[in-house]
Structure 1
Amino acid sequence: MLIDSHAHLDSTRYAEDRAEMLRRAADAGVGAVLSIGIGENPLEMHQALDICREYNGQPGMPQLYSSAGIYPHSTVDADEATLAKLDSLLAEPEVIACGEIGLDYYHEGAPHDLQRKMLIAQLEIAAARKRPILIHCRPKDNTTAAWDDLFVVLEEHWQHTGLGGIMHCFSGNYDQARRSLDMGFLCSFAGQITYPKAQDLRDVAAKLPLDSVLVETDAPWLAPAPLRGQRNEPAHVVHTAQTLAVLQGVLAEELGEATTKNFQRLFRLAPFMGN
């Protein structure tokens, strides 16, 4: 069994076939999906939870969990009411994580100081609700400023909680990966690990302990190499898992079992039936 640890199930790109897409995931061996609650703006944070409640319990579907958070570039649209909404969402039992939150210095958008301020505010809410966090960190080109600033914030405002989290769509170097693990994070790898030019990232993934990694799609984006350019969906996490299994030197079944246990351990979830 596999878990897709990061998918944007509320994307309008699934509007016409969301149920069928979820059934394809289950048929591919995906037992659970973490539905990311950032929406197109903070007013849509609740949509991921709505999807969980709509589809959980239906036959032939994976188990769905939800997150809620304010994306770095959406921080310009955030205010006290937005933070209060986040707090209320994190109180819901299906909402097991705060995110994706973090820093994005790649695109021109929210000022960096505002991103850091709102990240800290969300860390405080997540800590009070005892929810692990999902971190988005994207530096500009080959600079390290985003990572450097992120670690400063996490060391001061998060590490002491012991709640940990996930470095979503990890694309950093080995030192950044090790630093993340030392702070209680798991590194989650998406479809880009399958791309021909991603050898540096594959080298990092190969060095990490098996109990520190996850797989994800970041669907509908980042379809793995065999399907690159197409709309991504949770069923396609199988391709990423196969690549990561080779890098880790284990069978695909062992990789699936390990990443599932890693996910359950982080979020303190009971094992699934048959797991």
Structure 2
Amino acid sequence: MTPAVWFDSHCHFDFSVLDASREGDWQLASSLGVEGLLIPGVTRTQGESLSAFCAQNRRWRYALGLHPYWCQDHREDDLLWLATALQQPGVVAVGECGMDRVLVKEGSATWDAQWQWLMKQVELAESTGLPLVLHIRGAHDEVAAELRRRRFSGQGLVHAFSGSVQQAANWCDLGFCLGVGGAMTHPRAQRLRRTLQQIPPENLLLETDAPDMPPAFLGRHHNSPAMIPLYGHILSCLLGIETEDLAEQLQKNLLRVFPVLAGSEMAG
């Protein structure tokens, strides 16, 4: 049987905390069958450096967006920059953008401000035809309903999904895939594991969110794209399918959701 190949669909591989370990992390990931990764944009400053960063390795791809975590730092002309930058041929998606109710509770970003930044980026996804990479926490119902109301015809990835079965179904109906990673390895994640068992494999993608969201056994150690094959094995066991079959399906999902990758080496 052909060895499984993998892709990390959401990895902050450019973050400085990985500077000392990045080369070794990638060598290990590659040796385990990880053939590529997608780095999301989070701010204008970080996004402006992603093209050069990914030029170091043709298997590192990137998206551009304005993340709700940095909502108070974003400026109106960042949208003008983003609209222009999204025209670069190497851009895979719009994002990471989204809504985070925890930020509202903490007082670090209002709901209205997050919503306005998200909707502007949804408009850019619609005008460019690029998929969305979404960060959604405590806002699945509202965002999915709004995309349905505006008849959003694109697709994308809901990163680090941890919602309900019904919320998963709503995203799947909109053509989105759901990102799965280290969260499913934690002992308290029983509800998430049960939910994943009810989601069609055609609507899943693997991710690490490295350096964040490490699997349970790593403790506070930084996460790495080298974890993807292990996540694939865990997910295949949850779904009751062969690991190689899951890897093949995930590759199809990847190229469907991110069509730009279909013309690259990621297409296999």
For 1:71 and 1:129, the matched residues in 2 are separated by 19
For 2:115 and 2:85, the matched residues in 1 are separated by 21
Following superposition, the deviation at residue 48 of structure 1 comes to 2.9
Structure 1 stretch displaced more, 25-34 or 221-230: 221-230
Partner residue, 1:138:
137
For 1:46 and 1:246, the matched residues in 2 are separated by 40
Partner residue, 2:246:
255
CA displacement 1:59-109 (0-9 Å, x = unmatched): xxxx11101111113222222310112112211122111111110011322
For 1:97 and 1:231, the matched residues in 2 are separated by 25
TM-score by length of 1: 0.89
In the TM superposition, 1:52-71 aligns within 5 A as 52-56=54-58, 63-71=59-67
Does the 8 A contact of 1:9 with 1:36 survive in 2? no
In the TM superposition, 1:209-224 aligns within 5 A as 209-224=200-215
Structure 1 unpaired stretches of 5+:
57-62, 140-145
For 1:81 and 1:113, the matched residues in 2 are separated by 19
1:4 to 5, 8, 20: 8
1:93 corresponds to 2:89: yes
Q: RMSD between aligned alpha carbons?
A: 1.7
Does the 8 A contact of 2:68 with 2:98 survive in 1? yes
Does the 8 A contact of 1:66 with 1:96 survive in 2? yes
Following superposition, the deviation at residue 42 of structure 1 comes to 3.1
Relative contact order higher in (CA < 8 Å, ≥ 6 apart): 2
Following superposition, the deviation at residue 16 of structure 1 comes to 2.0
Structure 2 unpaired stretches of 5+:
none
CA displacement 1:90-146 (0-9 Å, x = unmatched): 11122111111110011322110011111101111121111100111112xxxxxx2
Q: What SS does the corresponding residue of 1:207 show, helix, strand or coil?
A: coil
> Aligned letter for 2:11?
A
Does the 8 A contact of 1:170 with 1:187 survive in 2? yes
> Aligned letter for 2:71?
T
For 1:9 and 1:47, the matched residues in 2 are separated by 12
Partner residue, 2:76:
80
Q: What SS does the corresponding residue of 2:41 show, helix, strand or coil?
A: coil
Does the 8 A contact of 1:116 with 1:153 survive in 2? no
For 2:220 and 2:182, the matched residues in 1 are separated by 11
Percent identity over the alignment is 31
Partner residue, 1:110:
109
2:159 to 159, 168, 171: 168
For 2:202 and 2:263, the matched residues in 1 are separated by 17
Aligned residue pairs total: 259
TM-score by length of 2: 0.91
Does the 8 A contact of 1:98 with 1:134 survive in 2? yes
Partner residue, 2:33:
29
For 1:208 and 1:201, the matched residues in 2 are separated by 11
> Aligned letter for 2:142?
D
For 1:48 and 1:213, the matched residues in 2 are separated by 26
For 1:114 and 1:273, the matched residues in 2 are separated by 36
For 2:96 and 2:266, the matched residues in 1 are separated by 28
Partner residue, 2:45:
43
For 2:197 and 2:50, the matched residues in 1 are separated by 32
Following superposition, the deviation at residue 274 of structure 1 comes to 8.5
Following superposition, the deviation at residue 171 of structure 1 comes to 0.5
Q: What SS does the corresponding residue of 2:71 show, helix, strand or coil?
A: helix
